[in-house]
Amino acid sequence: MNIFTRPILEINLKNLLNNYAVLAKLAHPAVPAAVVKDDAYGLGAEIVAKLLYDKANCRTFFVAHAVEGAKIAPMVPLADIYVLQGVGSDSIDIFAQIPHLLPVISSPEGLDFWLKNRPDDDRKPAIQIETGLNRLGFREEELKNLSHDNLKMFGLVMSHLACGDEKDHFMNAHQLANFERLKHSYFPNTKASLSASDGVFLGTNFRQDMVRLGAAMYGINTAPYRPNQMQNVVSVKAPLLQVANLPKGDFVGYSATYRASSNRKIAIVSIGYGDGWPRSLSNVGKVFFKTNGQISEARIIGRVSMDNIICDVTEVCDIKVGDTAYLADDFYTLDEVAIDAGTIAYEIMSRLGKNPRFDRKYIK
Amino acid sequence: MNIFTRPILEINLKNLLNNYAVLAKLAHPAVPAAVVKDDAYGLGAEIVAKLLYDKANCRTFFVAHAVEGAKIAPMVPLADIYVLQGVGSDSIDIFAQIPHLLPVISSPEGLDFWLKNRPDDDRKPAIQIETGLNRLGFREEELKNLSHDNLKMFGLVMSHLACGDEKDHFMNAHQLANFERLKHSYFPNTKASLSASDGVFLGTNFRQDMVRLGAAMYGINTAPYRPNQMQNVVSVKAPLLQVANLPKGDFVGYSATYRASSNRKIAIVSIGYGDGWPRSLSNVGKVFFKTNGQISEARIIGRVSMDNIICDVTEVCDIKVGDTAYLADDFYTLDEVAIDAGTIAYEIMSRLGKNPRFDRKYIK
């Protein structure tokens, strides 16, 4: 008998590259940019950025923080790297060292800081404008106060959709109208970007000059009103550490939240919230097994703990210690896990990927 | 004006060391062991283990995985490091290289693997026995099958409480009785450990020969039926990137889940679920500010996004870009954050600490 102890995170770079190509084609003639912030949603920004730069000729990247940009900068020497959270005292030195790092300026205070502290070169930052999300971005009353010179200093004008994953949401048309009006009033000759992955599916107007491809590239369905056109990128597996009988009447897990109403068979799987598997899957999540050439489903019972989950495998044939539990895969994607967990796949992906506990494998 | 962009995670090692000392004294004469699995609940296992080894003379550590043990092994050369998830083909080489790494054996299959593959030395693993949690551990029918020699090979017999954070839960007495009966029947001369931090507060019987100090050492209240006796260890801060007016009728954030019923003032804070701040705090979480020498509370409005949260600061005086938002601190601990987020502080701490996005600061 073979035994394993560590959970495995598999990242399919072939599918990621294919998703990028499909999205880029859909977005044409808009230029595709790759969003690799948050360590490429946890999947490894250095690897993903290098792949898209080398194999897909991607020349524009978005990160959240300057430190994230610094990590990928050597892999993408001729690309523009936009920094969404902008620039401050804790990042200006990084901008000074990396000429192809460009801040996204979202407030008058941010602009003021940039003008006073910017490196002595001709790089052009982006400006973010507010169109309805009410997050980062210049409001119109602030745009009115910008000088003619300042309005011309930006290489890109951008905004972000609040409800791009709902095809007919009134906010989409509302934000598009706001964006086009503000762009034409204040930035008539500046390249424009309104949409992330979700906007790619909303039609030509939403694509503008550049689309920012993130979630969909990583396999998340950003157009959930129709079947996912993307291929799955993330698979999560974990070994069974133990298979045991659970007598009728026995409790399972912390706070004894599950009680067996009949004799059951349980399996202890080596993954928990310490690995990023959501605790909100307690008593509701699913785990899958491949035995005898078919896929069987088992339910998580009791609370998810830091290192383990417990599942009811009474109906799963021929299961034994050392077998593999499938937590997420083509047949049960992170989008589906997220529905069971009461969140979105973005949050789970971000937790998993950066987690050093996984034995991380890239499929190339 | 000064601007900052990165969130900050502060880990107070003085308080951590003090918590360990308080717990160790409470547990006396039981031996204290430190649980530094999951990178010391995300707070940095190498730093925490070295601190407890050097300053508190801690000589027993628990990790979940062998790779976690390998990281701390050089810092704690004369300590025992127990590996809770046991041993398998993916970790046996690590055990071979590190003589003070000791597996916790929890199943007959695990024992069989260890006996066939163990390094050629005299190290003594621990055995975990099942007493009511129905997670990892030998069931009694499996103990009966162990040979006399095998029963004597262990340096420690251990189990784990399901409901130790509820003082009068019937499971505590039930598990204690099971543990003492099994110990006396099968391991009469082996050192015993039943409890983690929560058991320290349950009385002498629960402490046995060794207690495993984890959550409480990190400041979590593991005896929530009374005020926390521990000092706070984790503080989370993030800078304000923008302060803006929110006109009556406007929506905030993804999916437009918040709408202003009057003119409001909002602040955009540079932290989100990509940093480990739970998305379940959307529209319910709290954020604090220190202005004019007093602490003001603000509510998170709209969805928590990957890099930002938005809060209503209408009632907060003199607030401006560059100010600090306090997400967790002495006055709003991770235990309280977790209640608002619908989870436990353990899960949030584990997400924050390992997150490379934070500017991480240790208070020594």
Residues of chain B in contact with residue A110, where contact means CB-CB under 8 angstroms, are: 3, 241-242, 321
Query: How many Cβ pairs closer than 8 A exist between chain A and B?
Result: 243
Portion of chain A with pLDDT greater than 90, in percent: 97
User: Any idea what the Cα angle at residue A85 is, between residues A80 and A90, rounded to 5°?
Assistant: 100
Do A136 and B87 make contact, defined as CB atoms within 8 angstroms?
Answer: no
Mean per-residue pLDDT of chain A: 97
A210-244 pLDDT, tens per residue? Answer: 999 999 999 999 999 999 999 999 999 999 999 99
Give A278's pLDDT tier (boundaries 50, 70, 90): very high
Residue A1, pLDDT above cutoff 80: no
Cβ atoms of A200 and A167 within 8 Å: the answer is no
Do B355 and A354 make contact, defined as CB atoms within 8 angstroms?
Answer: yes
Give A293's pLDDT tier (boundaries 50, 70, 90): confident
ipTM of this predicted structure? 0.96
Residue A101, pLDDT above cutoff 80: yes
CATH 2.40.37.10 fits B234-363, yes or no: yes
Residue A332, pLDDT above cutoff 90: yes
**pLDDT 10s per residue in chain B (364 long)?**
789 999 999 999 999 999 999 999 999 999 999 999 999 999 999 999 999 999 999 999 999 999 999 999 999 999 999 999 999 999 999 999 999 999 999 999 999 999 999 999 999 999 999 999 999 999 999 999 999 999 999 999 999 999 999 999 999 999 999 999 999 999 999 999 999 999 999 999 999 999 999 999 999 999 999 999 999 999 999 999 999 999 999 999 999 999 999 999 999 999 999 999 999 999 999 999 998 889 999 999 999 999 999 999 999 989 999 999 999 999 999 999 999 999 999 999 999 988 889 999 999 9
Q: Which pLDDT value is given to residue A353?
A: 84
Mutate to test the interface with A, among B3, B246, B307 (most CBs of A within 10 A): B3
User: Any idea what the Cα angle at residue B235 is, between residues B199 and A276, rounded to 5°?
Assistant: 65
Bridge partners of B300, per DSSP, are: B311
Q: Which pLDDT value is given to residue B256?
A: 97
Q: Which pLDDT value is given to residue B356?
A: 86
Q: Which pLDDT value is given to residue B355?
A: 85
Q: Which pLDDT value is given to residue A307?
A: 98
**List of E strands, B226-345:** 234-246, 251-252, 258-259, 264-269, 286-291, 294-300, 309-312, 324-328
Cβ atoms of B232 and B214 within 8 Å: the answer is no
Mean pLDDT of the A69-80 span: 98
Q: Which pLDDT value is given to residue B354?
A: 83
Domain residue limits, chain A:
13-218, 233-363
Give A122's pLDDT tier (boundaries 50, 70, 90): very high
- Catalytic positions of B are 37, 254
Q: Least CB-CB distance to B5: which of A91, A132, A165?
A: A91
Rounded to whole angstroms, how far apart are CA atoms B325 and B309?
Answer: 11
Mutate to test the interface with B, among A39, A135, A321 (most CBs of B within 10 A): A135
Residues of chain B in contact with residue A131, where contact means CB-CB under 8 angstroms, are: none
A179-200 pLDDT, tens per residue? Answer: 999 999 999 999 999 999 999 9
R_g of chain B, CA atoms, integer Å? 23
Bridge partners of A66, per DSSP, are: none
CATH 3.40.50.1580 fits A233-363, yes or no: no
Superfamily for domain range B13-218: Alanine racemase (3.20.20.10)
Q: Using the CB atoms, write b or e for B4-22: b if 16+ within 10 Å.
A: bbbbbbbbbbebbbbbbeb
Q: Measure the N-to-C terminal CA separation of chain A; round to a whole number of Å.
A: 30
Mutate to test the interface with A, among B168, B347, B349 (most CBs of A within 10 A): B347
* A151 CB-near residues (< 8 Å, 6+ apart): A143, A186, A187
Mean pLDDT of the A161-185 span: 98
Q: Which pLDDT value is given to residue B292?
A: 80
Q: Least CB-CB distance to A162: which of B165, B256, B306?
A: B256
Do A256 and B169 make contact, defined as CB atoms within 8 angstroms?
Answer: yes
The upper half-sphere exposure of residue A219, i.e. CA atoms within 13 Å in the direction of its Cβ, equals 27
DSSP B60-85: EEEESSHHHHHHHGGG-TTSEEEETT
Residues of chain B in contact with residue A273, where contact means CB-CB under 8 angstroms, are: 346-347, 350
Q: Which pLDDT value is given to residue B313?
A: 98
Do B354 and A354 make contact, defined as CB atoms within 8 angstroms?
Answer: yes
Q: Which pLDDT value is given to residue B276?
A: 96
Do A110 and B350 make contact, defined as CB atoms within 8 angstroms?
Answer: no
Bridge partners of A245, per DSSP, are: A265
Q: What is the pTM of this model?
A: 0.97
